[in-house]
Amino acid sequence: MQEVAKHSPLWWDSGYAEPNVSCMGGPSPEIFEIAPALRTKSVVVELGCGEGRNALYLAHFDHQVIATDISETAISKLNRLAGDLGVNITSGVARVEDFQPHAYLDIFIAHCVLHFTERGVWKPLVTTLINRTRPGGFHCFTNTLDQPDHPISKESLASGHKKSFQRGELEAIYTEAGWEILRSDHYIKWDSHPGIPIHSHCIEKVVVRRPIGSEDLPRMRAELIKEAGIIPSKQFNSLKLGTPRDAIIEILGSPPASHLVTTDRKTVGGNNREAITDGYVREDMIYGHHGLQFVNGTLTGKYRYFTPPVRLSIRDE
């Protein structure tokens, strides 16, 4: 498998071929956040699932999880990890262009995949998914955007990145459809993956929800994370991924604000760490318009925010 992946034009296959390493990190924070608001036995659909960091987490809750990826190496790893974790997932190798949506669904996830399709592919797909999502369902997107000081990486361009999204385009589509916009984040992120050096992405993250109607499902709210303090740019640039949390605190002091998501379950680990970990703690420490991402006590990512950082929580009625 590793030899095949080595010659793959898809840059991510080199990481997926490493059986004992998590190359894309653990569950995304917004997936942790919306999980308590899902109906029981939800239908979860994820395109571009990779090694399964989000799909595997949601499968723990007995949801019906359908996960696809263009990479055979990724799906092979996902299936093995699902067996190791004792969860059930329906998986398959498929291009987005060939994907046939389920008759109905409760959550749709597309993290860093739709920008590999043309606008003429992803826009009709989004319309179909809007129409097939049950009341109270969620759509979660992460896309990398082209920006002059943080252009699309050569690896992504070689893998087919189409530069087919404009900032705010998804938000406008869902606003017109009458959905609730829970997150519309815009930031630069620095991280790394096996075989790929530290790099930066300009990212848009969008989380939206179809109106619940009269059904008794938990409501959600977006809460701004208090912004305070500052990290000088030179000092921010000098902070190295892989640094222990305690060492960062010695340099910067305690953060003015932080956002913590955690689980005691076995789950996919953090970037460049064990494929499966006994528990997962992700903390985003916020210093003004900069953020530092720690997974199980190690710095795994850095952020510069254009929009204020937020967290989602269940709304008290």
pLDDT tens per residue, range 120-142: 999 999 999 999 999 999 999 99
Give the pLDDT of residue 6. 44
Indicate the average pLDDT of the chain: 91
What percentage of the chain carries pLDDT values higher than 70? 96
Sorted by where each starts, the structural domains of the chain and their CATH numbers stand as 2-223 (3.40.50.150), 226-311 (3.30.1450)
Give the pLDDT of residue 195. 67
- Cα gap 154→152, rounded to integer Å: 7
Which residue in this structure is represented by tokens 């740019």?
233
- Give pTM, 2 decimals: 0.93
**Class of residue 25 by CB neighbours under 10 A (exposed 0-12, middle 13-18, buried 19+):** buried
Residue 51 has pLDDT above 70, yes or no: yes
- Cα gap 255→287, rounded to integer Å: 6
Provide mean pLDDT across the span 15-41. Answer: 91
pLDDT (tens digit, 9 = 90+) per residue, 21-33? 888 888 999 999 9
Coil, strand or helix: which one is 235? helix
Residue 2 has pLDDT above 70, yes or no: no
- Cα gap 39→68, rounded to integer Å: 22
Tokens of 310: 């937020």
- Cα gap 97→263, rounded to integer Å: 34
Residue 203 has pLDDT above 60, yes or no: yes
